[in-house]
Chains A and B, each alone.
Chain A
Amino acid sequence: MKTLKILTTLLFFTLILPIQAQTADEILTNYFENTGGLDNWKALEGLKIAGKVNQQGMEFPINILQLKDGRQMSSFVFQGKEIKQGVYDGETLWNTNFMTMKAEKADAEQTANFKLNTNDFPDAFIDYEAKGYTVELIGKETTDGTETFKIKLVKEPVTVDGVEKDDVSFYYFDTENFVPIAVESEITSGQGKGQMSKTTMSDYQEAGGLYFAYSTTQYVNGNLIWTMSMDNIEINPAIDESAFAFPEEIAEEK
Chain B
Amino acid sequence: MMKKLSILLVFFLAGMPFGISQTLENIDGKALFGDLKARHIGPALMSGRINDMEVHPTNSKILFAGTAGGGVWKSNDGGATFNPIFDEYCQSIGAVALDPNDPDRTIYVGTGETWTRNSVSIGDGLYKSTDGGANWTKLGFKDSERIANIIVNPKNSQEVYVGVLGALWGDSEERGVYKSMDGGTTWERLLYVNPKTGCADLAMDPNDPNVLYASMWEFRRTGWSFESGGANSALYKSTDGGKSWNKIHNGFPEGNLGRLAIAVAPSNPNVLYTVIEAEKDERKGLYRSDDAGASWKQLNNDFGITVRPFYFSRIVVDPKNEDVVVKGGLSGSISRDGGKTFKNLGNMHSDIHDIAFNIKDSDIMYVGTDGGVYRSWDGGTTMEIVENLPLSQFYHISVDDAEPYNVYGGLQDNGSWWGPSSSPGGVEARDWNSVGFGDGFRVLKHPTKNIIYSEMQGADNVWRYDVDRMLTKTIQPLPTSEDQKLRWNWNAPMAVSTHQPDRFYMGSQYVHKSEDMGDTWEIISPDLTTNDPSKQNQEDSGGLSVDNSGAENHTTIFTIAESSLDENVIWVGTDDGNVQVTRDGGKTWTNTTGNIPDLPANTWCYHIEASVFEPGTAYAVFDGHTMNDMTPYAYKTTDFGQSWKSIISEDVVGFVRNIQEDYVNPDLLFLGTEFGLYITMDGGATWKKFTNNMPSVAIHFIDLQKRTSDLVLGTHGRGVIIIDDISPLRSINNEVLAKNVHFFDTPDTVIDETSSFSGSFGTETQFVGPNKTKSVQIKYYLKKRHTFGKMAMEIQDMDGNQMAELSPGKSKGINIVTWNYRRKLPKIAKGKTFSFGGFTAPRVPEGTYKVVMTKGKETYEHSFNLVYDKNSPLSKKDRELKNATTMQLYDMTQELAYLVYELDEIVRNAELKGDKKTVSKLNALKETLVITTGDNYVGSAEPQLREHMADLYSKVASSYDKPTAAELNNLAVISARFNKAQQDFQKIRDKYLKKQELEFKSFDEFLESR
Contact = CB atoms under 8 A, between A and B. Distances in A.
Interface string A194-210: 11000010111110010
A220 B818 CA distance: 17
Given A57-B841, A174-B787, A217-B807, A145 B825 contact: no
A203 B6 contact: no
A130 interface: no
Contact of A138 (B34, B135, B791): B135
A213 B82 CA distance: 34
Interface stretch (A2-10, A107-115, A118-126, A236-244): A2-10
Contacts of A98: 936
Contact of A145 (B37, B807, B813, B936): B813
Nearest to A146: B785
A222 B9 contact: no
B1010 A15 contact: no
Contacts of A52: 805
A61 to B, nearest CB: 4
Contacts of A195: 83
Given A57-B822, A166-B105, A176-B14, A80 B788 contact: no
Interface in A148-186: 152, 161, 163, 165-166, 168, 170, 174, 176-177, 179, 181, 186
B5 A144 contact: no
Given A177-B787, A202-B785, A194 B83 contact: yes
Contact of B5 (A7, A59, A77, A222): A7
B30 A142 contact: yes
B790 interface: yes
A168 B30 contact: no
B134 interface: yes
A117 B505 CA distance: 66
Nearest to A214: B790
Interface in A86-102: 98-101
B810 A144 contact: yes
Given A146-B812, A177-B13, A36 B933 contact: no
A6 B2 CA distance: 8
B812 A81 contact: no
A22 interface: no
Given A59-B824, A166-B132, A79 B830 contact: yes
Nearest to B936: A99
A206 B10 CA distance: 13
A17 interface: no
B312 to A, nearest CB: 30
B757 interface: no
Contacts, number: 170
B3 A50 contact: no
Interface in B14-63: 14, 18, 28, 30-32, 34, 37, 59, 61
A40 B7 CA distance: 14
B838 interface: yes
Given A177-B13, A204-B788, A100 B835 contact: no
A98 B74 CA distance: 34
B770 interface: yes
**Interface class of chain B by DSSP:** loop
Contacts of B10: 14, 34, 177
Given A79-B830, A168-B134, A200 B810 contact: yes
A211 interface: yes
A39 to B, nearest CB: 9
Nearest to B809: A217
A176 B937 contact: no
Contacts of A253: 933
B789 A205 contact: yes
B131 A168 contact: yes
A58 B810 contact: no
Nearest to B812: A145
A249 interface: no
Contacts of A79: 828-831, 834-835, 838
Contacts of B77: 193-194
Given A14-B10, A14-B13, A202-B787, A3 B5 contact: yes
A211 B789 CA distance: 10
Contacts of B897: 80
Contacts of A100: 935-937, 939
Contacts of B786: 202-203
B566 interface: no
B104 interface: yes
A80 B946 CA distance: 14
A4 B479 CA distance: 89
Nearest to B29: A142
B81 interface: yes
B432 interface: no
A238 to B, nearest CB: 18
A58 B811 contact: no
A179 B10 CA distance: 10
Interface string B785-801: 11111111000000000
A195 B523 CA distance: 54
A54 B782 CA distance: 22
Given A50-B1010, A57-B820, A99 B937 contact: yes
Given A79-B831, A202-B786, 12 more contacts: A33-B3, A59-B825, A79-B828, A81-B830, A144-B785, A163-B59, A177-B14, A194-B75, A195-B83, A215-B807, A222-B37, A222-B692
22 contacts: A6-B2, A6-B5, A14-B10, A56-B820, A58-B825, A63-B1010, A142-B30, A144-B811, A145-B32, A176-B13, A186-B132, A194-B76, A194-B81, A202-B810, A203-B786, A203-B787, A205-B789, A217-B807, A222-B692, A222-B693, A229-B807, A252-B933
- List the 3 closest A-B pairs by CB distance, nearest first: A145-B812, A80-B830, A227-B807
